[in-house]
Amino acid sequence: MMGEGTGPVWRCRDRVIRLGARPLVMGILNVTPDSFSDGGRYLATDAAIQRGLEMAAEGADILDIGGESTRPGAAPVPADEELDRVRPVMAGLCNALPSAGRPLLSVDTRKAVVAEAALAAGADILNDVTALRGDPAMVEVARRYGAGVVLMHMQGDPESMQLDPRYRDVSVEVCEWLRARVAALVEQGLAVETLAVDPGIGFGKTVEHNLCLLARIGDLAALGRPVVVGLSRKRFLGTLTGKPVEGRVAGSLAGLVYACLRGAHVMRVHDVGASVDALRVLEAMRREESRACSG
pLDDT at 86 over 80: yes
**DSSP assignment of 169-209:** SHHHHHHHHHHHHHHHHHHTT--GGGEEEE--TTSS--HHH
pLDDT at 254 over 90: yes
Q: Which helix (H) or strand (E) holds 88?
A: helix 79-96
Helix (H/G/I), strand (E/B), else coil: 124: coil
Name the pairing type of β-strands 104-108 and 62-66: parallel
Helix (H/G/I), strand (E/B), else coil: 140: helix
- Per domain, the residue ranges of the chain are 9-294
Domain 9-294 belongs to what topology?
Answer: TIM Barrel (3.20.20)
Q: Which helix (H) or strand (E) holds 251?
A: helix 249-262
Distance in angstroms between the alpha carbons of the first and the last residue of the chain: 31
Residue 31: Cβ within 10 Å count: 29
| pLDDT tens-digit series, residues 216-242 | 999 999 999 999 999 999 999 999 999
pLDDT at 76: 80
pLDDT band of 163, cuts 50, 70, 90: low
Query: Residue 50 and residue 54: Cα distance in Å, rounded?
Result: 6
pLDDT band of 286, cuts 50, 70, 90: confident
Query: Residue 12 and residue 43: Cα distance in Å, rounded?
Result: 27
The residue among 33, 49, 273 whose CA lies nearest residue 41 is 33
Q: Output 291 or 239, whichever has higher pLDDT.
A: 239
pLDDT band of 20, cuts 50, 70, 90: confident
Whether 268 is catalytic is yes
pLDDT band of 165, cuts 50, 70, 90: confident
Q: Helix 249-262 to helix 272-294 angle, to the nearest 10 degrees?
A: 40
Residue 268 pairs in a beta bridge with 26
pLDDT band of 144, cuts 50, 70, 90: very high
Query: Residue 142 and residue 153: Cα distance in Å, rounded?
Result: 18
- Nearest 10 degrees: Cα torsion 107, 112, 114, 115: 30
Name the pairing type of β-strands 15-18 and 9-12: antiparallel
pLDDT at 291: 75
| pLDDT tens-digit series, residues 44-73 | 899 999 999 999 999 999 999 999 977 766
pLDDT at 156: 72
Identified catalytic residue from 51, 111, 234, 262: 234
| Sign, Cα dihedral of 181, 86, 235, 238 | positive
Q: Which helix (H) or strand (E) holds 116?
A: helix 112-121
Whether 234 is catalytic is yes
pLDDT at 158 over 70: no
